[in-house]
Structure 1
Amino acid sequence: MKKPDLPTLLGTLLILLYPLLIWSAHGRLEPRQLALLLLAIGAVRLLAARWAIKLVWPGLAALLLAAPALLWNDLLPLKLYPVLISMGMLVLFGASLLRPPSIIERLARLRDPALPPFAIAYTRRVTQVWCGFFALNGSIALGTALWAPPAVWSLYTGLVSYLMMGVLFAGEYLVRIYLKRQHHA
């Protein structure tokens, strides 16, 4: 397995810590200063993407949101980054449903190029479930960004959403094991 490069590791770490960093610095630093963190994330994401169009959008989203935060010294654009990421993932996964194979089927074919028909149907359903997750997650992130105190926004975007994602991953894995056993029994 190929080891991730430094920009990919750094970008992942910054994204995971982003809500906590924004919350902890809120009130201590101006939004304009915090926007520099989002600029750094955008630059690292663009480096890691190497200009592959499907991978560039998170970096461009970071730069797009950092601009108004810098210009107007406003915290809201910084809090919208998780919303844009969820919406981007929703578009990416949803588009793969309209133009198959789905994202999940593509990932499954990396492991097993000859997927049986039940597995193709299953991967389509899993892609739909992830679309639902990204829609819900983006909506909650938007609601907390607009109407909740910064600590609630940070708790949701920096912990709760990751826990929900982990539960979804684990639940899907268990269902997949069950279905494989049913179809190979």
Structure 2
Amino acid sequence: MVLALIWPLLVLLLHDDIGSWPLLLMGAALLAWRMPQARYLAVTAAILLLTLGALGYTELGMRAYPVAVNAIMLAIFLSSLWRGMPVIERLARLREPELSAAGVRYTRNVTWAWCGFFMFNGAIACWTALYADLATWTLYNGAISYGLIGIMFIGEWLLRHRMRSRLS
């Protein structure tokens, strides 16, 4: 898990010394290994990254790791809206098993919001992989995107508590 979090920093620190191919191989292995809840998607994404490398786009394959993570998370959250229980509802029911109808609607909307976030974040990660220098790619994917995730969590938490206090 820690390796996944510091992946962009590792790339920045190691790229000049070991090159794109070893980092691409490590990133693909990390991607396939770290997402057991979506093993098929993760392995498919890892193969796609390796395919980019095999086609001569090794650095792009290495940099596309955050794009793949966002795509996998989008697929998980989006698919949960159509089959089974939405991801956020599952998480909410861990704490509150008897979720009200309003709570179910709210968690569905939060799941949609996370889908939008993964699309937005993945698009910026893609732009940085294609067009930004390595330092900018690292800054966005290794710091700014985590800050945005934190803002999403805090914003949702504040909104949820505000809504609960209105209902009380």
User: 2:32 and 2:108 mapped to 1: Cα distance?
Assistant: 33
For residue 106 of structure 1, what is the aligned residue in structure 2? 90
TM-score (norm 2): 0.88
**TM-aligned CA distance change 1:13 to 1:66, over 3 Å:** farther
**TM-aligned CA distance change 1:114 to 1:157, over 3 Å:** same
Instruction: Look up the equivalent residue of 2:121 and give its one-letter code.
Output: N
Cα deviation, 1:49-96, whole Å, max 9, x if unaligned, reads: 2xx5x3453355235424543674721101111101111111111112
For residue 33 of structure 1, what is the aligned residue in structure 2? 22
Shift of 1:31: 1.1
**TM-aligned CA distance change 1:39 to 1:126, over 3 Å:** closer
For residue 22 of structure 1, what is the aligned residue in structure 2? 11
**TM-aligned CA distance change 1:103 to 1:182, over 3 Å:** same
- Corresponding residue pairs, total: 168
TM-score (norm 1): 0.81
**TM-aligned CA distance change 1:117 to 1:73, over 3 Å:** closer
Structure 2: which 5+ residue stretches go unaligned? none
Structure 1: which 5+ residue stretches go unaligned? 1-11
RMSD of aligned alpha carbons = 2.1
Instruction: Look up the equivalent residue of 1:29 and give its one-letter code.
Output: I
Q: Which of 147, 150, 172 is the equivalent residue of 2:134?
A: 150
Percent identity over paired residues: 40
User: 1:68 and 1:131 mapped to 2: Cα distance?
Assistant: 26
Instruction: Look up the equivalent residue of 1:121 and give its one-letter code.
Output: R
For residue 122 of structure 2, what is the aligned residue in structure 1? 138
